[in-house]
Structure 1
Amino acid sequence: MHNRRLAAALAVVASAALAGSLALVRPAAADTSLKQLAEGKGKYFGTALVQSNLSNSTLVGVATSQFDMMTPGNEMKWDTTEPSNGSFNFGPGDALVAFAQAHSMRVRGHNLVWHSQLPGWVSSLPSNQVQAAMETHVTTEATHYKGEVYSWDVVNEPFNEDGTLRQDAFYNAMGTGYIADAIRTAHAADPNAKLYLNDYNIEGENAKSNGMYSLVQSLLAQGVPIGGVGLESHFILGQVPSTMLANMQRFAALGLDVAVTELDDRIQLPASSANLQQQATDYSTVVSDCLAVTRCVGVSQWGVGDADSWIPGAFSGYGAATMYDQNYQPKPAYTASVNALGGSGGSSSSSPSTPTSSSSSSGGGGGGAACKVSDTVDAWNTGLTENITISDTGSAAVNGWRLVFTLAPGQTITNGWNATYSPSSGQVTATNASYDGAIAPGGSVSIGFQATHTGNAAAPASFSLNGQACSS
């Protein structure tokens, strides 16, 4: 089946590859491509493509040089793959899978069950026939692409904004159990694919993400083989939630992967220079949040550039939502993403959260190693996430650092980022990682950790850097 699929798509792939070789856009040196930098951090950086994109040589050049994960925009959705009951059409999806394989890109399968882009015959079925139709569809499609997709968005956008489940054809026929059934069915068809629930407006902590959190807790308790949660991340300029990192951490603490699956950041047109700089900050925040969470597996932008973005067609007066302009030239958001990933011209240590309290400068010796610490704690149930920013307010660079602080009674660190933490409770010493040991005068690094607590989620009362007290 796979060879036949590749052969069927060969002409499309060959023409796209040739076009890419004739007009390849490389906006950055090879060693600073998004995909290489992300891979160096154990992540991926992906994009979404539709079949018509493959004939655009400029778009193909950017896609193949910068991204290592591909999500089909429409070609695996129900209205394309099973437009009438029992009649399957995998040709468009096969073409995109073949393109991805030819360019060493993995594939995020998107999607198996969704209330939208659902052919009318499904909604018209008697309620006692919906489950069989869903299971047949999931089994047939997941089996067709078995071994060729990294993950599946098994159920897409199941929630209302208030955290209740949508009353769509599947819910109305099967109740809340349709989600567990869909995931189990997909797992039986392709046991090696990571199985996700995917939704928008669940990036920060709110009613909708709380609904998702409660659902996945229930699924895990039932032994349902869910593997991850996708945060779509269709943002409006300047509105990346300050709780996005904490939200990622709480899902990760359940043993789930998290992924930024459909990132864009729309701007009211025309976009000003200040708008583009804010967009760069937004992209940097999202990338940094993902880097700070071990189980955040990667970031995918929805589309390659502004010219192929869905935003102008969906949100009147808005656009300019991606890292590349109408001519597929990189925008400040691209540079900010490269910098956040540790590429040339920047650092991977930008703070992803707005501090709730900050210190004033503290004197001290150590060759001018005065320090300032700000920290923010996001707590829930018996867990917390703490983000700490260390700033050098002195006149000399810090080269190698140890930050000492005391955790509140009952707190125990379970995992951390950008530093090594020892011991896990009581008085803790955080020692720099190999990549963030130098802090220039006026510069800063951000570190953090996740911990359990027994009721006291307070931040440490004081911090010292290399033996010098920092106000906090």
Structure 2
Amino acid sequence: MPPCVRSLRPRRSRLTAVLAVAAATVLSFVAAPLAHAASPLRSLAEAKSKYIGTELTGNMVYNSTITSLAGAQFDMVTPGNEMKWDTTEPSNGNYNFGPGDTIVSFAQSHNMRVRGHNLVWHSQLPGWVNGVPRNQVQGVMEAHITTEVNHYKGKIYAWDVINEPFNEDGSLRADAFYNAMGSGYLADAIRTAHNADPNAKLYINDYNIEGENAKSNALYSLAQSMLAQGVPLGGIGLEGHFILGQVPSSMLANMQRFAALGLDVAVTELDDRIQQPASGSSFQQQANDYATVINDCLAVTRCPGVSQWGVGDADSWVPGTFPGWGTPTMYDNNYQPKPAYNATATALGGSGGGGGGTGAGPLHAVGAGKCLDVPNSSTTAGTQLDVRACSGGANQTFTLTSSGQLTVYSGADCLDANGRGTTAGTKVIIWSCNGQANQQWNINADGTVTGVQSGLCLDVTGASTADGALVQLWTCSGASNQHWTFG
């Protein structure tokens, strides 16, 4: 297992999957039928006086599937690369704000706040900055901060003014700014940003500071010192790039101690990487990890919200940076919700499990005019389901759980893709509930029911309307034999 220290985020290599599906015109936001809770995540978060955010970068803003999902579910956006120094000031005094402006325009059109990311960072610096004589670095840094913050004044809710300034042992990185100005560059950067936009919340953002450790202790001492000097530091960003099952148990206490200083404490870049191939139990642990992070934020008044780094697994930076690891977000490669989504929705006070929410009742096959049925009320594992005239019996009553399972017989058995099949024609059976991905389902807003693992649709074989017509998984086609109502 790799150490819980992330490498530098690659600027564009992680966009390969996105480029393959990039389409349409910039800011063309065509709605796609996606599975999500009855109330969008953003509405659930806002009801708790929080935000739920995401990250967009590069060609993601040209992809209508991504932008439709992002605009519907999230109310905060962070540009992944578009506001970093190598993009905004590639040569001394020559600025390029076009890429960042595009993301700001998207956010404004969807009533989303924007997190500016970032102003001062040792990485993704254009070469000319590292070549500046030390006695000129302060002037260059202040000019860059002032120009960029002025350009976006009034459009940015919060800035990551300083990004990742610490080594793992709590010492400060010896970058161009520290080497020229010592530790004083940190306070100077915050003051300069505040002078340019007094209304923006100003953050120091870092990774591996989520729990109490040498690195977060050093940041805590720095924050105390800054506040004592009247430096207008407003918040601490906990990036939250986790390894599955390793959300620190001290995260809540750590957030509370920063909040007690009068600082906001946001989770700014959440993902939770899983060693591949991922199993159903891994996805359930990921759901637990997401719920822990959301609940920790909810428990801290000064936690304004949580932002995920990326929209879905297909656009994540993780596989390109950590070979053998992936699936780190709450949406899969097809931008369908995973158990982590359901857990997030539930933690925010909503109902998980896709468009139908949690609940119990029959699944009506719209095309057949019948109900999903366990033949002869069988309790034998492996029994293939069919459709029959609705009777209200226990063998036709399914419960959608918060983890996306469809259970029958009071939770004894689960709807299951036979043999963990992911090909068209896979039988839909009952099997003892085991929490694996082939037993997790999305009840979608467009009336389909899709398997989390396969992405295939629950289908009445041959579009039959007869009693006893068998049920299978099949490529989603929009036909009436793949439409269902629940409850």
TM-score under structure 1 length normalisation: 0.69
Gaps of 5+ in 2: 1-21, 354-487
Matches within 5 A, 1:424-443: none
Q: Distance in 2 between matches of 1:265 and 1:237?
A: 6
Matches within 5 A, 1:92-111: 92-111=99-118
2:300 alignment partner in structure 1: 293
TM-superposition CA deviations, 1:1-27 (whole Å, max 9, x none): xxxxxxxxxxx9993554423xx2432
Answer 1 or 2: higher relative contact order, Cα 8 Å, separation at least 6.
Answer: 2
Matches within 5 A, 1:241-256: 241-256=248-263
2:277 alignment partner in structure 1: 270
**Alignment partner of 1:48 out of 43, 55, 58:** 55
Residue type at the aligned position of 1:265: D
SS in 2 for 1:321: coil
Q: 1:13 touches 1:95 (CA, 8 Å); kept in 2?
A: no
Does 2:99 match 1:89? no
Q: Distance in 2 between matches of 1:39 and 1:19?
A: 23
**Alignment partner of 2:167 out of 160, 169, 174:** 160
TM-superposition CA deviations, 1:392-440 (whole Å, max 9, x none): xxxxxxxxxxxxxxxxxxxxxxxxxxxxxxxxxxxxxxxxxxxxxxxxx
Residue 29 of structure 1: CA displacement?
A: 3.9
Q: Distance in 1 between matches of 2:26 and 2:173?
A: 40
1:73 alignment partner in structure 2: 80
1:26 alignment partner in structure 2: 34
SS in 2 for 1:60: helix
Q: Distance in 2 between matches of 1:309 and 1:316?
A: 13
1:15 alignment partner in structure 2: 25
**Alignment partner of 1:175 out of 168, 172, 182:** 182
**Greater gyration radius:** 2
1:228 alignment partner in structure 2: 235
Q: Percent identity?
A: 73
**Alignment partner of 1:186 out of 189, 193, 197:** 193
TM-superposition CA deviations, 1:139-162 (whole Å, max 9, x none): 000000000000000000000000
Q: Distance in 2 between matches of 1:139 and 1:37?
A: 36
SS in 2 for 1:116: coil
1:340 alignment partner in structure 2: 347
Change (3 A) 1:272 1:13: closer
Residue 51 of structure 1: CA displacement?
A: 3.4
Q: Distance in 1 between matches of 2:23 and 2:115?
A: 18
Moved over 2 A (4+): 12-21
Residue 62 of structure 1: CA displacement?
A: 1.0
**Alignment partner of 2:126 out of 119, 124, 139:** 119
Matches within 5 A, 1:357-396: none
Change (3 A) 1:187 1:88: same
SS in 2 for 1:296: coil
Bigger mean CA deviation after superposition, 181-190 or 54-63:
54-63
Q: Distance in 1 between matches of 2:70 and 2:33?
A: 9
Please state which structure has a larger fraction of its residues in strand.
Answer: 1
Change (3 A) 1:177 1:34: same
Q: 2:24 touches 2:64 (CA, 8 Å); kept in 1?
A: no
Q: 1:287 touches 1:340 (CA, 8 Å); kept in 2?
A: yes
Q: Distance in 1 between matches of 2:242 and 2:235?
A: 21
Q: 1:71 touches 1:107 (CA, 8 Å); kept in 2?
A: yes
Residue type at the aligned position of 1:318: W
1:427 alignment partner in structure 2: none
Aligned residues: 332
Does 2:210 match 1:207? no
1:324 alignment partner in structure 2: 331
Q: 2:283 touches 2:339 (CA, 8 Å); kept in 1?
A: yes
TM-score under structure 2 length normalisation: 0.67
TM-superposition CA deviations, 1:352-391 (whole Å, max 9, x none): xxxxxxxxxxxxxxxxxxxxxxxxxxxxxxxxxxxxxxxx
SS in 2 for 1:215: helix
TM-superposition CA deviations, 1:284-312 (whole Å, max 9, x none): 00000000000000000000000000001
